[in-house]
Structure 1
């Protein structure tokens, strides 16, 4: 983006360097400089997650208003929205498709100097734009999609961009740690669960050596969750459960239903994968259009 190459942005980078050069303690300065990108990213992610959630709510409300007393409009709005959303992603940003979580996991694996170009394709400002626009259009068309996976990819892209714009004099920070923290911060903000984000970060970062960044990582994840809570309020993602004592026969019924639900979900996943393979075999645009219609 031109903004990050502008004289205005470079002025602030130089101003920041002069300010931190005045800190006498090298340990304090390095610890602070290491933590700032994580903290800045977490605040942006918290705000972005709330904005994204409100965008989904806006799309749903607009759809309800459009079809109020005109339910037949769904037969026009829905196929048009699905086709436009699919075309935008296919034409301009193929890596913005899907939930976004596989892209983040791949970017974590590619977070080494020789594969930085691959990371840029998976996590970028362009991805953020088309992810937000295409998903909003889908929601506006009545699509049953979730915002949690996309939020994680958007958050990873935000942290990756922050990593890219750090000036040369900044202490060395691991790109992998930044991307994982971005994903964890996105999870924390999307589900309103700071501890869930911390657990995700621990699971992923225990695969690499990250002792130098652990304080910044954990605080960043918590800040993202708290930022989202501050803006959107405290809530439970799945609502407030009302539980009472359960009898032994009730427990057996729960176990049986759990087994049946697991088996059904397995077959559903297989069916979706078969449909996905079938769709991927299309070699003409008109077949994709017909499929979405």
Structure 2
């Protein structure tokens, strides 16, 4: 009897598994845990690099009590120097590491012949190094691209090396599971790994992949937590709002965030396509322009346009909207919120469009949180309610992944008490974002990658 048939017979009601079947199940479970731990280990260096941004963010004058200092100015000007270097490396010795990592993984899942190159160790390591340099330079990008790539590559390597220990899973299934588990290991979000695999990578709701994905994701997230990644990465929202008020505010937050998220999606794909030739032919000049743009936005936004945005969201949760001017009027506060939203949309587009490895989850969460905070403040509601609704709505509007967005927002901000509002805001934002841009952002970027691939 094959291993699959033995495991199936052990689950038939009225039958008792034999000692051999129990041994097979135990071995399968242990193998999945080991894969998850290895994915967590692979993501750990990226998590450690990400914390550098928190130390550098405090050097920036995001409020009136912290004026510009020389270290802060140097942090703001870092992209002007680093962006040209990154584009030169991506064009030359580290060309295999260019790009987010998620589009290449998705293309490999659609066409398995692309997997060996997409999951190759040199390109995976190069992507991690490029992302680390950009992160230390305070580029406004997230890390889900590299962690998904790392998770998928580790899972594929384990499957090829120890295929006999994972008989019920194909290579394609393991790559998809590993990609989702990379998110779990990068953000300490165990359930998110399985949901991202189902909603974005495979659209295959099969029990043969769901429970292995959960086991691997829990193991990866557990190691992430041991490594210092907090349970609620952005903090906890200390607010309880009646459901009818949540639903009432979820409508404007979801619609506005959906429009902004859809424009962000459309703009990023468009700018990536427009810059592809320039990045390839004139990397130094293009890098100076883009890096200069990022530095200018940082100086004009008191540093709030920099980094992945997590520090800004924590600041919103703990202190409210950053005020660059003391005792400013209400209309100036509103203008400040609007300006920070604009720069938090534009800056990630400048950082990601030339192919710098990174992700758009953190940037989307951030502009969504600022938007939600602003909408609720205008309507006379708590800014924390707006943050909870906006986190999910911003990400859902940009990615068109409502389930992923809901779970991500809950895990990062501990806002399960806002269940009704968060669900409605995420669904509205996803539909609205789809009206603005038909293709989800990662699908649009994967199409560009396939179109730019060399013809054989």
TM-score range, shorter chain: 0.7 to 0.9
CA positional deviation for 1:33? 5.0
Q: How many residues align?
A: 263
Shift of 1:147: 1.2
| Equivalence for 1:99 | 100
Matching residue of 1:44: 38
Contact 2:193–2:213 (Cα < 8 Å) also in 1: no
> In the alignment, which residue of structure 2 is the partner of 1:15?
none
CA contact (8 A) 1:81 1:138 kept: yes
* Distance in 2 between residues matched to 1:63 and 1:244, nearest whole Å: 30
* 1:288 corresponding residue in structure 2: 286
Cα distance in 2, alignment partners of residues 216 and 250 from structure 1: 35
Give, in whole Å, the separation in 2 of the partners of 1:145 and 1:225: 21
In 2 relative to 1, CA 200–145 (structure 1 residues): closer, same or farther, beyond 3 Å?
closer
Q: Give the Cα–Cα distance (whole angstroms) in 1 for the partners of residues 270 and 148 of structure 2.
A: 26
Q: How does 1:82-231 map to 2 (within 5 A)?
A: 82-111=83-112, 115=113, 118-166=114-162, 172=167, 173-203=169-199, 207=204, 211=208, 215-231=211-227
1:290 and 1:210 mapped to 2: Cα distance? 50
**Deviates most, 142-151 or 255-264:** 255-264
- Contact 2:181 2:213 (C-alpha < 8 Å) held by counterparts: no
55-64 or 39-48, which moves further after superposition? 55-64
Q: Which residue of 1 aligns with 2:310?
A: none
Gaps of 5+ in 2: 1-17, 61-67, 292-456
- Worse-superposed segment, 231-240 or 187-196: 231-240
- Compared CA separation, residues 48 and 265, structure 1 to 2 (3 A): same
Matched-pair contact (CA < 8 Å) for 2:49–2:136: no
Shift of 1:234: 4.0
Q: How many Å separate the matches in 2 of 1:192 and 1:216?
A: 17
Q: Which runs of 5+ in 1 are unaligned?
A: 1-23
TM-score of the superposition, structure 2-length normalised?
A: 0.50
The TM-score with structure 1 as length reference comes to 0.74
- In the TM superposition, residue 53 of structure 1 has moved relative to its aligned partner by 1.1
1:84–1:209: structure 2 CA closer, same or farther, 3 Å change rule? Answer: same
